[in-house]
Amino acid sequence: MTGIVLASLRHRRTAFAASFLSVFFGSVVVMAFASMLDTAGQPGVTAADRETLQIVALAVGGWGTVIVGSAVGATLAVATRQRAAELALLRTAGASPRQVVTLIMRETGLVAVVAALLALPAGYGGGHVLLALLQHSGQVARSYGFRFGAAALCIGLGVTLAASLTAAWLTARRAAGRPVREALAEAASGGRRMSRRRLWAGIVCVLLAADSGLLTMTLVGGKDVYGAQELSVGGCIWAGIGFALLGPALLGGAVRLLAPLAPGVSGELSVAAVRQRLQQAATPMMPIIVLTSAGTGTLYMQAITNHLRFAAGQYDKSVATVNYVVVGVVTLFAAVMLVNLLAAVITGRRREFAQQRLAGATRRQVLGLVGAESVLLLLVGVLFGTIGALATIIPFSLKTTHRLIPHAPIGIYLVVLAGVVALTLAASLLAARQNTRLDPVTVLRGAAMA
């Protein structure tokens, strides 16, 4: 089995690269924030500074861990789903479901362990930069040295490895437990059905977002701005993750509504292609939703707070810094995962692009098809990301200012939107150009030999 695992990793280096990057960057984020617990535990740290470091580690790092776990799971699920036909053929060759699950688990475990270990230096550096930021902003005394110890190692390695192996086990069980004929049909269709487990997970996350807004409106007073922040910030994050998990269902509904309005041949073909492979098509939409929801919701929440504190002459730089760190971490990680998932999904369609070109489509037309699909993903992703952001903005604004529309510039939303659109279109078109560069006959010959 070990020989098969190593041969599979060598043969599918491009596919496993996406999983590797997901685990690597996830480990860096979690380790950096977890190291604040090690720093807070060293002798001589005052009670106030210890509380600040723990808040950064547990509050900011906690939400970062939730997002990292979701992103790692999504990336590994994509990698396994792209191998659906290969896994079904292994079953026809005599492999048992248990052997298929073991193969995937060992491959994932090896990739995750290597990625997490290689992330140690970057996690150390990230934690050092984070402490320097807190000291520069005056939240923590400059006399403390940085510590990277048991908390950073155990939490950083534990979270990413647990997320990786859990996602691989769940996806592998689902892939290996199907009848071979059904698995081959699902592989050919690109995945049009969403599992009930994912459906219920998405619904639970959306309900948690609604609960966050309800608690904001009922548990704290209007003058307790920081208490309202602590409760309401979860709304945009949980809603973003929930809508991301429900992505195939949301995209399917949007396709049915927008199909009659699709402009031109490229629009009609993109709608048909998305409808045929909803799960695969909806995967890059996940970071679009999370990035739009968490980024917009947190930035507007802080903008409202800044307006209130400036008006009262009580601006608190420390809380603002923490919220901006949240936005920075979420934005950076979601941006990396957006590019990562787009590259993985589009690379998996190399054979499809070659077949389209042999059927008469030009390279430019294929790129136009990818661009039209990306626009569709952006429309749906930005829409539900905006709805997710409102799960934080509306309760917080109503509670603290008694206004449905907050005192905050529209430019914040436009900047977030422009960043998401530019990143999505650039990543998808560059990946499509790279994967249509070779002659289509060469691509199909290589796919047949694989």
Over the stretch 308-332, which tens digit does the pLDDT of each residue have? 877 666 655 556 666 677 667 767 7
Average pLDDT estimate for 355-370: 82
Q: At 390, is the pLDDT very low, low, confident or very high (cuts 50, 70, 90)?
A: very high
The string of pLDDT tens digits covering residues 76-113 is 666 666 666 666 666 676 667 777 778 778 888 888 88
pLDDT at residue 440 greater than cutoff 80: no
- Is pLDDT above 90 for 68? no
Residue 231 has pLDDT above 80, yes or no: yes
Query: Sign of the CA dihedral 172, 174, 179, 180?
Result: negative
Please say whether the dihedral angle defined by the alpha carbons of residues 23, 25, 30 and 36, taken in this order, is positive or negative.
Answer: positive
Confidence band of 10 (pLDDT split at 50, 70, 90)? low
d(CA 226, CA 306): 11
Which one-letter DSSP state was computed for residue 261?
A: G
From the CA atom positions of the chain, what is the Rg in Å?
A: 23
Distances in Å between the Cα of 265 and the Cα atoms of 253, 276, 350, 372, 389 are 21, 16, 21, 10, 34
CA proximity to 300, closest of 221, 229, 238, 218: 229
CA 294 to chain centroid, in Å, comes to 11
Token pair in block for residue 64? 């970062």
What CA–CA distance (Å, rounded) separates 446 from 429?
23
Count of C-beta atoms within a 10 Å radius of residue 287:
30
Confidence of residue 1 (pLDDT cuts 50, 70, 90): low
DSSP state of 184: H
328 φ/ψ angles, rounded to the nearest 5 degrees: -60, -45
Q: Which of 299, 296, 190, 197 lies closest to 251 in space, CA to CA? A: 190
Would you state the pLDDT for residue 93?
A: 67
Query: In angstroms, rounded to a whole number, what is the distance separating the alpha carbons of residues 99 and 80?
Result: 15
> 82 — alpha (psi -120 to 50), left (phi > 0) or beta?
alpha
Percent of residues, the chain, with pLDDT higher than 90:
10
Sign of the CA dihedral 315, 317, 318, 319?
Answer: positive
Q: How far apart are CA 344 and CA 338, in angstroms?
A: 10
pLDDT above 70 covers a percentage of the chain that reads 75
**pLDDT band at residue 6 using 50, 70 and 90 as cut-offs:** low
Measured CA to CA, the distance from residue 202 to residue 399 in angstroms comes to: 27
Residues whose CB falls within 8 Å of the CB of residue 431, separated by 6 or more in sequence, listed in order: 342, 343, 346, 347
C-alpha pair distances (Å), 409 with each of 208, 262, 300, 405: 28, 33, 9, 11
**N-terminal to C-terminal alpha carbon distance within the chain:** 19
> Can you give the pLDDT at residue 222?
67
Q: Over the chain, what is the mean pLDDT?
A: 78
| Largest Cα span, the chain | 73
Backbone phi, then psi, for 404, in 5-degree steps?
-75, -40
- Going from the C-alpha of 227 to that of each of 47, 214, 323, 329, the distances in angstroms are 20, 13, 13, 22
In the three-class reduction of DSSP (H, G, I as helix; E, B as strand; rest coil), residue 438 is classed as coil
The 10s digit of each residue's pLDDT in 108-131 is 888 888 888 898 999 899 888 888
- Listed in sequence order, the residues at least 6 apart from 37 whose beta carbon sits closer than 8 Å to its beta carbon are 53, 54, 57, 58, 151, 152, 155
Q: How far is CA 89 from each of CA 41, 167, 359, 445, rounded to the nearest angstrom?
A: 53, 22, 27, 19
The pLDDT of 139-151, averaged and rounded, is 83
Q: What is the pLDDT of residues 241-296, one digit of tens each?
A: 899 888 888 888 888 887 666 666 656 666 777 777 777 778 888 889 988 998 89
C-alpha torsion angle, residues 423, 428, 430, 435 (rounded to 10) = 160
The whole-angstrom separation of Cα 416 and Cα 11 is: 39
Ranking 19-33, 336-350, 374-388, 395-409 by mean pLDDT, the lowest is 336-350
User: Which range has highest mean pLDDT (8-17, 183-192, 241-250, 314-323)?
Assistant: 241-250
What six digits make up the tokens of 284? 């890059």
* Polymer length of the chain: 450
Q: Is there a contact between 206 and 239 (Cβ–Cβ < 8 Å)? A: yes
